[in-house]
Structures are given as structure tokens and as C-alpha cells.
Structure 1
Amino acid sequence: MKAREFDQKFDDGEDVSEALDLSRARRPNQSQGRVNVDFPVWVIEPLDKEASRLGVTRQSIIKL
């Protein structure tokens, strides 16, 4: 399919997914890295309390 035809189909709201190779698709700037952070106790205690209330880990709360 030529680019002009692809653009026209896309602009018309047609499904163009069959023309795409999604096997190598990735979102830019979405890779993860590890960071260590020290929090004062007065920050950790409410985090733990909320994590316990929600039934999740402290790490999950921090990620949010």
C-alpha cells in the first residue's frame, strides 16, 4: 500500500492496522530504570498505612 493510500484510509477512519507491522513496535521513553530513594519516617508511615488499607505494597503506592 502506498503512503498516500494509507493516509487517505487513515483520514477516512478506516482500519489500517493490517498494513502495519506491530511486531517491533514500542513506545518511546517508556523503558524503566531503578532508583533508590530515602524517605523520612514521617513520609513512610502514611505510605504504609495507605498501602495496607488498599492491600498493596509500599512500592505500588510510591509508583502511583
Structure 2
Amino acid sequence: MNFELDRKFDQGEESILEYFDLSNAERVNLQQTKVNIDLPQWMIRALDREASRLSVARQNDG
């Protein structure tokens, strides 16, 4: 079963959610931590373009 599920997922054949019981699904470890990092300017520009494409702020809180 696992091999078949992996194959279907990898090949994008169908939604695999039908194979899972989502009635008890939980999201864990969602606490956010703020970090400061130094990135090259080209990467900041790329992040800004992607944020614009997604209509979100670069410093989006969620």
C-alpha cells in the first residue's frame, strides 16, 4: 500500500487525501520565532518579486 501511495503522489495521478483519516489531524509546533538573517541583494529582490506575485508583504506574519 505504501509503495502504491508513494507512486500516486509522485506521479500526481490523484489526490492522496482519501487515503488518510483527517478527522483527527492536528497541526503541531506552529509557534513562530522571529529571526534576522543577512541575505544577498539579489535574493532580497527575488523574495520581493515572489511576495508581490503572491500579493503578500515580505515581512508577512502569517
Q: TM-score, normalised by structure 1?
A: 0.41
TM-score (norm 2): 0.42
Q: With CA pairs under 8 Å and 6+ residues apart, which has the higher RCO, 1 or 2?
A: 1
User: Which structure is higher in helix share?
Assistant: 1
| Larger gyration radius, structure 1 or structure 2 | 1
